[in-house]
């Protein structure tokens, strides 16, 4: 049996012609004639049973080869030396590569986590140097290093990549090992220079920092009568906390509507970049978001608006990601890489699915139901109507008191994780096992979940906990993030092959996060005995999807516009985003709300710090709904563990094995139409 890894290193030294030294990244120097010649040589040597792997592997490796890797003769010698014909040896090599990639990924992940702690966590005063270290990407040179030592070519030659169409047609008949081989083959399909990967990381980190510090001190907001509606010192992160404050005020029959309208005005000012720059993350001034006037010590003060910083972050991300296009083969736009590559659902298919949902006549039926419950016409912020949930009729202060007492700090939250899992039906043994692999950290921002990349490491639940303890809104978000952590743990520790760890795409981890999040009151031992509970939950899910799909539509259209206008300024992007938000609103929301030209769909912070992520939420809700329907009469923990240990198959095969059907909008639409009839 060949010692394949050492042979790779030896080959770089012994091949007859030396690689040229050239720091510039060129296109491949291996022509079609050479590819055919090498393919014929290997077929003659190893027979027809290896024909497909030879044809695909040689072509794949040739497309990645550069003159700095060696001349044509070097490439020929490499392929003849490194092609593995024996299935037994192929499996041995696969397992060794898997082991070593877990070591590399795990340690790089720990480096990233450690460097970002001062940026992400409330562990002391943040310094500018923390942001510099936080933008460092230990992965940046990994890919290029693996090309230099020829390991990347060994993988490309022996483990073919498959297109999304091929995976769709062939994957249903693959074994788990064949799927794992295919995922290894996905590792090297493009060759992006390390400097560009670092640029992408820097742009994304800077955007993340910008959003993490974008707080509004709502305690300093005033109305036209110079009245303050919110508690002194209260600050809310945009957009998450602002949105959640709107949701929480449906239970306030006194000042709730006025508070919602004020927050909505804040959001509109942010989208339009009319917000005074000095009221962001500051309580030095009082601000009237209606008139956009600012005051200090009772006197009006003229402040400059924020200088399109929001849109400059998007442009910075776009430019960094666009530089990667030319090195990405057929995935030559970030849009293709995000959808066809990462989500493994094409962007046109996503848009068509969203259009079907948003255009459904069921939307107007649900809107009429909400109008009846509110006793007024809908206003644009009612896209976040939260009145179908049990908590919406509960006193917010009472909920805050319960969560603040139970979770005064991150340590208390971490200690309670096993109890939460037991409450959800997991055995004590399994609860302790899962919880032992999850750490809770105090976040600067609204919080997030960060998964481990190697067995033995912990997933991290980052959650925002004020000095007074975790309020209910923070708890609700934390339960959502805990759902991510449980998925991250199951899909790493319980999956049979490391190369299959994870889920098909981010929508699938969002699904489990939603499933956990909706059980937040149950975890607090607060029961909802409403006989309409099931119908109300269905309608609530429908309305949540209706809102987030519109936001996803805006996100996709903004990226299409960026590719059509690659040299746009931040000011031009701001105008375009406002227009796109209005267009999507006018098509799908104005016929329901009776109000034209609203820009609220452009408020989501994900558009700034997580490019093209928002569509995952919509799919997450759809998947969540289908899973909930399927497991309704089954064991919750048993099904969660069965479903999520499938690992990273393509979306529709994962869903087929999980619930017996592909991802679809029809289950939600049909169930909602029936639920509205029953409620009415």
pLDDT at 13 over 50: no
Q: Are 386 and 396 in contact (CB under 8 A)?
A: no
- pLDDT at res. 126: 87
338-397 pLDDT per residue, tens: 999 999 999 999 999 999 999 999 999 999 999 999 999 999 999 999 988 766 667 788
**CA–CA distance, 367 with 327 (Å, rounded to integer):** 47
Asked which of 284, 310, 336 is the last residue of a domain, the reply is 310
Of 26-30, 133-137, 170-174, give the lowest mean pLDDT range: 26-30
Please count the other Cβ atoms lying within 10 Å of the Cβ belonging to residue 336. Answer: 17
Residue-wise pLDDT for 244-277, tens only, equals: 999 999 989 999 999 999 999 999 999 999 999 9
Please, which pLDDT band fits residue 464 given cuts at 50, 70 and 90? confident
Rounded to the nearest 10°, the torsion over CA 574, 576, 577, 583 is: 150
Does 440 reside within a domain? no
pLDDT the model gives residue 43: 95
pLDDT score, position 256: 96
Domain identity same for 222 and 342: no
d(CA 235, CA 249): 16
C-alpha–C-alpha distance, residues 252 and 392, integer Å = 9
Query: How far, in whole angstroms, is CA 39 from its chain's centroid?
Result: 40
Check residue 645 and give its pLDDT.
97
Q: Kindly state the average pLDDT of the residues 473-486.
A: 94
User: What is the Cα–Cα distance from 186 to 344, expressed in whole angstroms?
Assistant: 12
Q: Is residue 442 part of a domain?
A: no
Enumerate residues 6+ apart whose C-beta is below 8 A from 19.
12, 67, 68, 69, 70, 74
- Is residue 240 classed as helix, strand or coil in its secondary structure? helix
pLDDT digits (tens, 9 = 90+) for 73-119: 999 999 999 999 999 999 999 999 999 999 999 999 999 999 999 98
236 shares its domain with 335? no
Q: What is the pLDDT of residues 186-206, one digit of tens each?
A: 999 989 888 898 899 899 999
pLDDT in the model for residue 392: 62
Burial class (CB in 10 A: 0-12, 13-18, 19+), 3: exposed
331 vs 63: CA distance, rounded Å: 14
Are residues 282 and 158 part of one domain? no
pLDDT of residue 22: 39
How, if at all, do strands 286-288 and 447-450 pair?
A: unpaired
Looking at the domain assignment, is residue 133 inside a domain? no
Q: Considering the chain, what percentage of its residues have pLDDT values greater than 70?
A: 95
Residue 17 has pLDDT above 60, yes or no: no
Q: Same domain, yes or no, for 7 and 154?
A: yes
Would you say residue 455 lies in a domain? no
Using DSSP's 3-state secondary structure scheme, residue 30 falls into: coil
Is it the case that residue 171 has pLDDT exceeding 60? yes
Under the banding of pLDDT at 50, 70 and 90, the label for residue 601 is very high
**How far apart are the C-alpha atoms of 557 and 156, rounded to whole Å?**
34
- Whole-number percent of the chain with pLDDT over 90: 81
Query: What's residue 393's pLDDT?
Result: 64
- Domain assignment of residue 268, given as a range: 210-310
Query: Residue 651: CB partners within 8 Å, gap ≥ 6?
Result: 343, 344, 345, 504, 505, 507, 508, 619, 662, 663
- Please, which residues have CB within 8 angstroms of residue 352's CB and are 6 or more apart in sequence? none
**Contact status, residue 650 vs residue 506, Cβ threshold 8 Å:** no
**The pLDDT value given to residue 533:** 84
**Residue after which a domain boundary falls, among 189, 223, 257:** 189
**Residue 513 domain-assigned?**
no
Residue 151 and residue 254 in one domain: no
Q: Are residues 260 and 238 in the same domain?
A: yes
Distance CA(187)–CA(160), nearest Å, equals 10
Same domain, 344 and 383: yes
> Cα separation of 382 and 594, whole Å?
12
Residue 4 has pLDDT above 80, yes or no: no
Residue 355 maps to a domain: yes
- SS3 call for 293: strand
- Domain boundary among the residues 310, 344, 366 is at 310
Does residue 20 have a pLDDT over 50? no
pLDDT of amino acid 140: 80
Same domain as 339, residue 234: no
168 shares its domain with 231: no
Q: At what angle do helices 666-679 and 615-631 cross, to 10 degrees?
A: 70
Number of domains forming the structure of the chain: 3
Q: Considering the chain, what is the average pLDDT of its residues? A: 92
Statement: residue 519 has pLDDT above 80 = yes
Taking only the tens place, the pLDDT of each residue in 440-459 is 999 987 788 999 999 999 99
pLDDT over threshold 80, residue 527: no
Residues 667, 614 share a domain: yes
**DSSP code per residue over 123-148:** SS---HHHHHHHT--TTTTHHHHHHH
Asked if 510 contacts 617 with a C-beta cutoff of 8 angstroms, the reply is: yes
pLDDT above 90 for 14? no
Is 406 a residue whose pLDDT tops 90?
yes
Please check whether residues 383 and 283 belong to one and the same domain: no
Residue 32 lies in a domain: yes
pLDDT confidence tier of residue 635, bands split at 50, 70 and 90: very high
Give yes or no for residue 574 having a pLDDT over 80.
Answer: yes
Same domain, 4 and 147: yes
pLDDT band at 12 (very low <50, low <70, confident <90, very high): very low
* Residue 223 pLDDT exceeds 90: yes
């Amino acid at each position: 049996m060949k010692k394949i890894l050492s042979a790779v290193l030896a080959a770089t030294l012994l091949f007859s012609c030396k690689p040229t030294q050239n720091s510039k990244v060129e296109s491949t120097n291996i022509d079609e004639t050479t590819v055919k010649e090498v393919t014929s040589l290997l077929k003659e040597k190893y027979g027809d049973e290896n024909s497909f792997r030879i044809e695909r592997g040689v072509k794949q490796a040739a497309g990645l080869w550069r003159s700095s890797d060696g001349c044509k003769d070097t490439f020929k010698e490499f392929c003849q030396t490194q092609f593995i014909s024996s299935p037994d040896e192929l499996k041995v090599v696969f397992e060794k590569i898997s082991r070593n990639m877990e070591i590399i990924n795990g340690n790089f992940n720990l480096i990233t986590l450690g460097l970002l702690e001062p940026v992400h966590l409330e562990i002391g005063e943040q310094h500018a140097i923390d942001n510099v270290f936080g933008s460092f990407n230990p992965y940046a040179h990994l890919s290029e290093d693996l090309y230099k030592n020829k390991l990347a070519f060994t993988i490309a030659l022996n483990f073919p990549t498959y297109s999304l169409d091929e995976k769709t047609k062939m994957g249903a008949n693959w074994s788990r090992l064949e799927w794992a081989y295919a995922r290894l083959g996905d590792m090297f399909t493009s060759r992006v220079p390390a400097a560009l990967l670092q640029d992408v990381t820097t742009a994304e980190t800077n955007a993340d920092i910008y959003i993490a510090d974008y707080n509004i001190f709502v305690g300093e907001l005033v109305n036209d009568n110079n009245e303050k509606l919110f508690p002194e010192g209260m600050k809310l992160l945009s957009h998450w906390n602002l949105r959640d404050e709107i949701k929480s005020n449906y239970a306030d029959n006194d000042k709730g509507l006025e508070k919602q309208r004020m927050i909505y005005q804040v959001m509109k000012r942010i989208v339009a970049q009319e917000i005074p720059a000095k009221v962001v993350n500051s309580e030095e001034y009082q601000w009237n978001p209606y008139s956009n006037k600012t005051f200090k010590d009772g006197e009006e003060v003229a402040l400059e608006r924020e200088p399109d910083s929001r849109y400059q972050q998007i442009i910075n991300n776009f430019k960094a990601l666009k530089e990667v296009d030319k090195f990405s083969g057929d995935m030559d736009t970030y849009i293709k890489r995000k959808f066809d590559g990462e989500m493994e659902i094409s962007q046109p298919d996503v848009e068509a699915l969203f259009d079907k949902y948003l255009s459904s006549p069921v939307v107007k039926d649900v809107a009429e139901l909400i109008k009846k419950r509110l006793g007024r016409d809908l206003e644009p912020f009612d896209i976040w109507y939260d009145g179908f949930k049990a908590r919406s009729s509960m006193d917010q202060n009472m909920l805050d008191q319960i969560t603040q007492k139970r979770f005064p700090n991150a340590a208390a939250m971490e200690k309670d994780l096993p109890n939460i899992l037991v409450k959800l039906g997991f055995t004590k043994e399994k609860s302790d096992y899962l919880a032992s692999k999850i750490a809770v950290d105090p976040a600067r921002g609204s919080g997030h979940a960060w998964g481990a990349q190697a067995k033995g490491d912990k997933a991290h639940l980052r959650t925002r906990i004020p000095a007074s303890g975790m309020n209910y809104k923070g708890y609700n978000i934390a339960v959502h993030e805990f759902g991510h952590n449980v998925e991250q743990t199951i899909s790493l520790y319980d999956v049979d092959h490391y190369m299959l760890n994870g889920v098909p795409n981010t929508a699938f981890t969002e699904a489990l996060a939603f499933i956990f999040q909706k059980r937040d009151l149950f975890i607090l031992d607060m029961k909802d005995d409403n006989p309409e509970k099931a119908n109300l939950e269905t309608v609530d899910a429908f309305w949540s999807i209706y809102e987030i799909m519109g936001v996803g539509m805006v996100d996709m259209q903004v990226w299409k516009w960026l590719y059509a206008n690659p040299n746009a300024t931040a000011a031009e992007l701001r105008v375009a985003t406002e227009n796109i938000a209005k267009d999507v609103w006018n098509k799908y929301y104005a016929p329901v709300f009776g109000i034209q030209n609203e820009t609220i769909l452009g408020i989501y912070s994900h558009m700034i710090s997580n490019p093209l992520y928002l569509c995952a939420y919509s799919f997450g809700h759809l998947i969540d709904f289908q899973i909930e329907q399927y497991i309704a009469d089954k064991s919750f923990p048993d099904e969660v563990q069965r479903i999520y240990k499938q690992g990273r198959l393509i979306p529709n095969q994962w869903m087929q094995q999980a619930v017996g059907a592909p991802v679809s909008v029809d289950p939600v639409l049909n169930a909602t139409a029936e639920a509205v009839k029953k409620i009415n």
